[in-house]
Chain A
Amino acid sequence: MKAKPALAPPGARLPDRTVLLLLLAPALVYFAVYHLWPIAGMVMAFQDYRIVGPSRFAGLKHFRTLFSSPAFLDVLRNTLIISSMKIILFFPLPIVFALMVNELRSMFLRKFVQATAYLPHFLSWVVIAGVWISFLSPGTGGANQLRGVFGLPPVDYMTSKGHIRWVLFASETWRSMGWDSIIYLAALMRISPSLYESADMDGASPLQKMRYVTLPELVPTMVTVFILNLGFFLNAGFDQVFNMMNDSVISVIDILDTYVYRIGLLNMQYSFSTAASLFKGLIGLVLILSTHAASKRVTGKGLW
């Protein structure tokens, strides 16, 4: 007996496919216009861009300027440190948060916790910076008043080179932990209840169920999110750093994006900033491909 094909023959399904393609079209157009087409503009990195008359080919001049700039190594180091903190240290937090929310049995409490955790995601970094600067103020801020209760002297966290990166990490966590947990909550919903029923029959404790059922089921989502996050490894958060930077901490939180903004946009060195962005993009691409390959080898799972 001939097996039934998964899909009807192409001819018979044509009207449906057309509809599907039409539904897909806006997304394809979006990616073509905003993500594919601008890649052509990367040619500026190899030119001395001119508005009037043709741009002149400059070879690797802008890359040489970038790598020989006295600030470049500092900026790259800051970017790597802040990105690592955000990607590696931050990565487990939404997962833990999702697991905790998943354990809440009261629907009201669950919705309340989720809504409260999602809220900061909708605030702009201008507002968040204002809130954190005020919260961490050495004179009137809540954080230092709390220190005062324990007899500790106030700390000016915002101007302290030793603390400012942790301020970035903490404010990023406050803003994104709730929102980023959504994908894990969705993945938790998809776990078949039969797996938990089997674990119950085997006498598994709640922790064992988490260890042997929940976490393994979350691995594909975790791997995908981690690899995709690595693609943005050198995006240490322009808006956040820009709004929280002050003269005292430039050397420890000046990142590639703020550097490119100053040199490229404020000083209008567009070719130079394109070279820096291209460098950033290439690093991201290499990280995605290598992590994908490593993950495939180790866990059998990757992006595709």
Chain B
Amino acid sequence: MKKRIVAFALAALVVAGAWAADPKVRMAIKDLDTDPNGEAFIQLIEKGMAAAGTPVDIELVKVPQGNYAEKISLMIMSGDVPDLIYMQGGEDNLASQGVFEDLRPYVAKSRNYKALMDAHSVQRLESFPYITWIAPPRVRTPVMRRDWFDSLPSAKALVANPTVDAYYALFKDLVAKKGAKFGITVTGATNGYEELDAIFDAAFGTTSTWMKGGDGKWGYARVSPNEKAKLEFYAKLYKEGLLDPEYLTKKWDSKEQAFYEGKAGMVLGVAPGSIDVYNTKMTKAQGVDLVVLPPPKGKAQGYTPFVDVTKETRGFAVASTSKVKAQAFAILDFMWSPAGLKLAKLGIPGLHHTDDGKQYVLADKYGEWYNGWFGDSFNGFNPDKPLSRPLVSKTATEAGAMAKKYMMADKTILIPERYIANWDAMTNLYKEYMADIVTGKKPVSAFDEFVAKWRKAGGDEVTKYANTVLK
């Protein structure tokens, strides 16, 4: 009898303990599981949330090494769905299977999150309510080193009156007067010509993925006459050695290296994050910072990639199968509260920053801290004490402002499953023709041949579909 009572008491204790335990939220974030400070960060989040009256027990899910978007999608497809998931591709397919929760009610009820969303984030959540992210639009801006900018009249002329011709003149000067091997380098890793397009698309008239023609019908921008004129210009840059002749095989690191070593006069980076990295590295390599250049005027003026307002391209999702949906979203809400933002943006106290009573002193190790785990935006970040130095460089801040000023909202569609194989073939056809035209393996007139093949490979069918979707 005594034994039974003891056993019952123990069982009651276990049940009570379980009852009292904080709700467990399984969370997957790219690279946080392998970050040396990941666990400490999670513990501080738990501590902060407990203090805020929303205690949770966070389990950081280990994601297999490799391409995150691919691995997390495979993990989810195999049935292992964390409660809170950072997504970076493939979310539309998963959402169509009902894996993700509609986040609009959670955002609407949030204490901090909703107030800090930019207009484009609100619009994206409205049209695709399964992932959310608070970050500036991912737009690329061109940069060049300040000492070369200061000594080249063509660079100043470009800022005063940015045109395609002004860019061409600057590329020529960078090679002729500054000893750069080529005016600009890009990496072949960016889906065709995304980096060059970031500067020149709008000037040649391409302002969104799908554009309305004179007949009132939507057409794919990459098969338009604007594209042909733009490619002719790229081919000219290549022929004259102003565009890196090895850009097709350039990787991210070799592209950056060419810039820091003075072989390339100009590169592009996503503002403000990548520009900040480029600025820091250039300051280290050459002792100079960078200058952000405006996009050229022409038929239009703007930077790309076009800002797709149909959905976020990355962000957090909550699993529809989760038993702790509210608690999972509460983590996001907390991270955008003043306490959460301080933690996210300043890093681990004592390691990445210290508080000397008057200000937050950013440590040398702060450079190793990624302050965008929960979103790259600094919206709402108003520390209660001044910082010993700015979190991002002046150049990066300028790049961010330019990106906001010159971003272009996209008009695009999600390619339905039935067209995916054809779309893949059409995209490859585009990439190969473009590469051959720019590098002079094919004449510019081959563009018309490309358009005919593109239409035959399924372009007509997708265009017809696009016209039923786009308004």
Q: Which residues of A come within 8 Å of B, CB atoms?
A: 49-53, 65-66, 69-71, 130, 133, 137-139, 156, 158-159, 246-251, 254, 259, 262-263, 265-270, 272
Contacts and interface: CB of A to CB of B under 8 A. Distances in A.
B421 A71 contact: yes
A21 B300 CA distance: 75
A158 B93 contact: no
Given A51-B81, A268-B90, A247 B76 contact: no
Interface residues of B, number: 40
Contacts of B424: 71, 259, 262-263, 267
A142 to B, nearest CB: 15
A53 B73 CA distance: 17
A248 B81 contact: no
Given A130-B251, A250-B432, A268-B77, 20 more contacts: A51-B77, A51-B79, A52-B320, A69-B422, A70-B457, A133-B249, A159-B249, A246-B249, A247-B188, A247-B432, A247-B435, A248-B439, A248-B441, A250-B431, A263-B420, A263-B424, A265-B70, A266-B89, A267-B93, A269-B417
22 contacts: A49-B77, A51-B79, A52-B320, A65-B421, A70-B457, A71-B428, A156-B439, A158-B249, A159-B435, A246-B188, A246-B435, A247-B432, A247-B435, A248-B436, A251-B428, A263-B421, A263-B424, A266-B90, A268-B77, A268-B93, A268-B94, A269-B421
Interface of B: 69-70, 73-74, 76-77, 79, 81, 89-90, 93-94, 97-99, 188, 192, 245-246, 248-249, 251, 320-321, 417, 420-422, 424-425, 428, 431-432, 434-436, 439, 441, 457-458
Nearest to A137: B246
Contacts of A272: 421
A262 B99 CA distance: 22
B74 A51 contact: no
A158 B251 CA distance: 13
Contacts of B93: 267-268
A106 B420 CA distance: 59
A69 B320 CA distance: 34
Contacts of B321: 52
A130 B251 CA distance: 9
Contact of B421 (A69, A139, A159): A69
Contacts of B420: 263, 267, 269
A71 B425 contact: yes
A249 B188 CA distance: 12
A52 B97 contact: yes
Contacts of B432: 247-251
A156 B116 CA distance: 50
Contacts of A248: 248, 432, 435-436, 439, 441
Contacts of A65: 421
Contacts of B248: 158-159, 246-248
A51 B70 contact: no
B204 to A, nearest CB: 19
A291 B246 CA distance: 44
A143 to B, nearest CB: 14
A250 B428 contact: yes
Contacts of B81: 51
Nearest to A262: B424
A133 B94 CA distance: 37
A141 to B, nearest CB: 9
A70 B74 CA distance: 26
Contacts of B441: 248
A69 B249 contact: no
A139 B241 CA distance: 12
A244 to B, nearest CB: 9
B94 A247 contact: no
Contacts of A267: 90, 93, 420, 424
Contacts of A49: 77
A272 B321 CA distance: 26
Contacts of B74: 265
A134 B52 CA distance: 55
Contacts of B246: 137-139, 156
A166 to B, nearest CB: 16
A248 B188 CA distance: 10
B179 to A, nearest CB: 15
Nearest to B421: A69
Contact of A51 (B99, B422, B436): B99
B428 A52 contact: no
A270 B77 contact: yes
A146 B248 CA distance: 22
From B90, B99, B424, name the one whose CB has the most chain A CB atoms within 10 angstroms. B424
A138 B245 CA distance: 9
A71 to B, nearest CB: 4
B312 to A, nearest CB: 17
B457 to A, nearest CB: 5
A130 B257 CA distance: 14
B248 to A, nearest CB: 4
A176 to B, nearest CB: 23
A127 B428 CA distance: 25
Contacts of B94: 51, 268
Contacts of A270: 77
Contacts of B436: 248
Contacts of B77: 49, 51, 268, 270
Nearest to B81: A51
Nearest to B76: A51
Contacts of B89: 266
